[in-house]
Chain A
Amino acid sequence: GIQVEQSPPDLILQEGANSTLRCNFSDSVNNLQWFHQNPWGQLINLFYIPSGTKQNGRLSATTVATERYSLLYISSSQTTDSGVYFCAVPNAGNMLTFGGGTRLMVKP
């Protein structure tokens, strides 16, 4: 099945810093979603981005489908950005398969 790898696995930032999270996938996809899971377990859908670039406030995402990767940019990070960021792509059955996640801690 499709493989999804995220890097880095862990990231510690000082408040106000910028960061880039990466998601590599092993096969062509028609769907890619980025999620943020807060420390209480709530998963929030950040972006549906099978290709191209989208921006939402301090967050933006870019997917280069032909090269099989996606990037999530966080600018001017805040403590509320802490948590785990997952990317997910569909498997052969069109069900989303999640990467291992990037655990982000933003320190005040």
Chain B
Amino acid sequence: DTEVTQTPKHLVMGMTNKKSLKCEQHMGHRAMYWYKQKAKKPPELMFVYSYEKLSINESVPSRFSPECPNSSLLNLHLHALQPEDSALYLCASSQDLRPRANVLTFGAGSRLTVL
């Protein structure tokens, strides 16, 4: 079993819906990440939290809103998405952001379909 848990595994939503993706880890990691992966492409970084503070936002549209309520949880709030936002959303964590400490552990992903 993965040590990073993502829910839901699958999500179908309309363009006017509001939904959230959730991610949880209990490894004591202090860095958490959201990646987006389109079919047959590599994962692309969206957001990074370090010690519960937003460290990196890779120019992601505001219809994606991350939240890190505590060191174990990471949410991605979705609102007014477009069909092209359909993708696999991957959460990852690492010990922290130091060069030899950012060894990533990924969750199983949430597969999102926007109708």
State which residues 34-51 of A face B: CB under 8 Å: 35, 40-45, 48, 50
Which residues of chain B are within 8 angstroms of A95 by Cβ–Cβ distance? Answer: 45, 48, 56, 102
Q: Do most interface residues of chain B lie in helix, strand or loop, or is the interface mixed?
A: loop
A to B contact number (C-beta, < 8 Å):
56
Q: Assuming A95-B45, A99-B42, A101-B42, is B106 touching A45 (CB within 8 A)?
A: yes
What's the Cα separation between A41 and B106 when bound, in Å?
A: 10
Q: Which B positions have Cβ atoms within 8 angstroms of A? A: 2, 37, 40-45, 48, 56, 88, 90, 92, 97, 99-100, 102-106, 108-109, 111
The residue in chain A whose Cβ has the minimal distance to the Cβ of B48 is A95
A45 touches B48 (CB 8 A): no
- Top-9 shortest CB links A-B: A98-B42, A43-B106, A41-B109, A48-B103, A42-B108, A30-B99, A41-B88, A95-B45, A98-B43
